[in-house]
Amino acid sequence: MTENNTDKKSTQYEYSFDYIQKKLEGKKDSYGLLVKDIIRPGICTECGTCAAVCPVLEWDQLAGQPKLIGKCNGCG
């Protein structure tokens, strides 16, 4: 049996979320780490989850990445 595109994308996103969670775990400046470890290296899948769960992030459609709209409190 072969994997269809939906299954491949789902697996890719699951891997991305696991990676992001491990990279940001226990850190104070979550936004700084998000930029350094996820956005700059090109790992971001532009799913918008970070902006959806963070009260000080919003998704910037033009830039294709999250934008900080308040002070990061390192909630993580």
pLDDT digits (tens, 9 = 90+) for 27-68: 567 888 889 999 999 999 999 889 999 999 999 999 999 999
H or E element in which residue 64 lies = none
Phi/psi for 11 (5° steps) reads: -65, -40
User: How far, in Å, CA of 25 to CA of 76, rounded?
Assistant: 7
15 compared with 7, residue with greater pLDDT: 15
CB 59 within 8 A of CB 66: yes
pLDDT tens digit sequence for 11-34: 776 777 777 767 666 556 788 888
For residue 2, pLDDT beyond 90: no
Residues 6+ apart with CB under 8 A from 74: 27, 28, 29, 30
- The pLDDT assigned to 75 comes to 75
Query: How many CA atoms are closer than 13 Å to the CA of 51, on its beta-carbon side?
Result: 17
